[in-house]
């Protein structure tokens, strides 16, 4: 009789050990990768916006691109930390907030006036968000990573929020307290600021360089005004003048001609220009020769700037990459810190006015747009080939000049058969305007042209 066999049972596999959070990767790597990734994304997005447009990249698009990149960084922290022992779910809030706001700025591209209104809103909102993030990170991130990586980021964001709030208040205060001795005159679609003092003929008209406004001429206007009538003005978008569409040299010359005519100022004028102001004066002289009695070129740019100065094209290209970032940085108060020591040699009131103007996003945006028009303005200034026998003095500083500068200044002096080229030892491009001890040379040159016209005599070397 067969004995029944007992079936052999398969040995059961050992139970799986559950994966706990303690076995997952540490969160520090995810935090570091996310922060670096956000910074890289912001830089790449900004370069994509600025690259094709350079000077003309709109400020909202630049800000939107940066915010979108930072949103990507916080999104990475939320995503990557999910696989670590300490998920950071709170990071989804700043990720969504920055990405959505950045996308909105890119898509809708609001005007500068809208950004000015938002300047009263975003600093307290950002500060509240930072406080919330600090609280949430203390709860969710129990690691030295929070202190060494996140807290420095929170500190920067706090400084940006506080700086933005202070800058907004300072700009509002400056606008209310700055005296305006001149007047605003409609030149057709926008108003321009003009201030004239003194009496006598011929009237001297002073044209500022890029990044300068009417207060830059404080020492010179004061000295010239004791002998004859002198006028200073702000181009559209600068100082106290209204904004306008991008303008080349011909449009700026038309604006100036309309401004002087509607102000009742009588020509012909002695035109004195500093830096690119000299270029605009050349175009004015080419279009309105009967309105120009004589000229003074104070450290003036050259119509052949791109060819006469070997290094200028490289500088212009580099500045085209940087300039679009400046208006946005100015809204954080950084421009006031950076440029807050400029114009030191001017009289106190003029110095404070220039520092206030040059610290604003509006003024830096205007400068960026004006830079974009310079190649056209240089070409247009080449239309003036001679002043014939009208008195002309070219004033050149000897210090800190680019290669080719002195030869270009010699070429300017050849525009008239009645000219003098003077160089000033120890002076720089800026000090001929801002420093009282050097500005006397510019004042003297202007008055020498005035006296030559009154006497009917040639200018003296």
Alpha-carbon span 442 to 315, nearest angstrom: 27
Report residue 351 as tokens: 């110095």
Phi and psi at residue 396, in whole multiples of 5°? -125, 135
What is residue 168's predicted lDDT score, i.e. its pLDDT? Answer: 94
Considering only CA atoms, which of 218, 238, 230, 178 is closest in space to residue 360? 238
Q: Which pTM was predicted?
A: 0.89
What is residue 1's predicted lDDT score, i.e. its pLDDT? Answer: 43
Tens-digit pLDDT profile for residues 195-210 = 999 999 999 999 999 9
- Domain annotation for the chain: domains and CATH numbers: 24-177 (no CATH), 184-455 (3.40.50.1820)
What is residue 181's predicted lDDT score, i.e. its pLDDT? Answer: 86
Other Cβ atoms closer than 10 A to 265: 15
217: Cβ–Cβ under 8 A, 6 or more apart, which residues? 206, 208, 232, 433
350: Cβ–Cβ under 8 A, 6 or more apart, which residues? 215, 216, 218, 343
Tens-digit pLDDT profile for residues 129-153 = 999 999 999 999 998 999 999 999 9
Report residue 202 as tokens: 């011929």
Report residue 166 as tokens: 């202070």
Residue ranges in the chain whose pLDDT is less than 70: 1-23, 177
HEC string of the chain?
CCCCCCCCCCCCCCCCCCCCHHHCCCCHHHHHHHHHHHHHHHHHHHHHHHHHHHHHCCHHHHHHHHHHHHHHHHHHHHHHHCCCCCCCHHHHHHHHHHHHHHHHHHHHCCCHHHHHHHCCCHHHHHHHHHHHHHHHHHHHCCCHHHHHHHHHHHHHHHHHHHHHHHHHHHHHHHHHHCCCCCEEEECCCCEEEEEEECCCCCCEEEECCCCCCHHHHHHHHHHHCCCCCEEEEECCCCCCCCCCCCCCHHHHHHHHHHHHHHHCCCCCEEEEEEEHHHHHHHHHHHHCHHHEEEEEEEEECCCCHHHHCCCHHHHHHHHHHHHHHHHHHHCCCHHHHHCCCCCCCCCHHHHHHHHHHHCCHHHHHHHHHHHHCHHHHHHHHCCCCCCECCCEEEEEECCCCCCCHHHHHHHHHCCECCEEEEEECCCCCCHHHHCHHHHHHHHHHHHHHHHHHHHCCCCCC
Could you tell me the CA-to-CA distances from 262 to 32, 136, 145, 203, 242 in Å, in that order?
62, 62, 66, 15, 16
Q: Which residue in the block uniquely carries the two structure tokens 């709170």?
A: 90
């Amino acid at each position: 009789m067969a004995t029944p066999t007992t079936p052999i049972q398969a040995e059961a596999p050992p139970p799986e050990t559950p994966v706990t959070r303690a076995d997952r990767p540490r969160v520090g790597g995810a935090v570091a990768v996310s922060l670096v990734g956000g910074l890289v994304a912001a830089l790449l997005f900004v370069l994509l916006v600025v690259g094709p447009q350079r000077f003309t990249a709109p400020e909202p698009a630049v800000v939107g691109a940066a915010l979108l990149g930072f949103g990507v960084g916080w999104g990475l922290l939320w995503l990557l930390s999910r696989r670590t022992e300490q998920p950071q779910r709170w990071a989804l809030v700043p990720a969504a907030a920055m990405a959505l706001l950045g996308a909105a700025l890119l898509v809708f591209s609001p005007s500068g006036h809208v950004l000015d209104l938002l300047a009263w809103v975003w600093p307290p909102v950002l500060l509240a968000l930072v406080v919330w993030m600090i609280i949430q990170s203390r709860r969710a991130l129990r690691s030295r990573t929070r202190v060494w990586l996140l807290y420095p980021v929170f500190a920067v964001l706090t400084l940006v929020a506080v700086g933005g709030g202070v800058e907004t208040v300072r700009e509002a205060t400056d606008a209310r307290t700055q005296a305006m001795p001149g007047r605003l005159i409609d030149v057709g679609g926008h108003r321009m600021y003009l201030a004239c003092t003194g009496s006598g003929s011929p009237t001297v008209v002073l044209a500022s360089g890029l990044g300068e406004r009417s207060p830059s001429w404080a020492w010179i206007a004061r000295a010239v005004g004791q002998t004859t009538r002198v006028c200073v003005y702000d181009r559209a978008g600068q100082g106290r003048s209204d904004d306008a569409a991008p303008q080349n040299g011909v449009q700026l010359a038309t604006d100036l001609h309309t401004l002087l005519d509607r102000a009742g100022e009588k020509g012909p004028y002695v035109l004195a220009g500093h830096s690119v102001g000299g270029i605009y004066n050349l175009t004015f002289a080419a279009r309105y020769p009967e309105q120009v009695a004589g000229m003074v070129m104070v450290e003036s740019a050259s119509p052949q700037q791109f060819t006469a100065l070997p290094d200028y094209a490289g500088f212009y290209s580099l500045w085209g990459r940087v300039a679009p970032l400046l208006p946005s940085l100015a809204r954080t108060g950084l421009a006031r810190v950076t440029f807050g020591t400029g114009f030191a040699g001017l009289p106190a009131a003029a110095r404070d006015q220039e520092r206030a103007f040059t610290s604003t996003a509006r003024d830096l945006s205007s400068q960026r747009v004006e830079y974009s028009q310079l190649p056209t303005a240089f070409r247009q200034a080449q239309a003036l080939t001679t002043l014939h026998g009208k008195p002309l003095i070219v004033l050149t500083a000897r210090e800190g000049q680019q290669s080719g500068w002195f030869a270009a200044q010699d070429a300017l002096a050849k525009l008239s058969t009645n000219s003098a080229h003077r160089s000033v030892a120890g002076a720089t491009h800026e000090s001929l305007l801002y420093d009282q001890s050097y500005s006397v040379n510019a004042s003297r040159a202007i008055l020498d042209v005035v006296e030559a016209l009154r006497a009917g005599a040639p200018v003296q070397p």
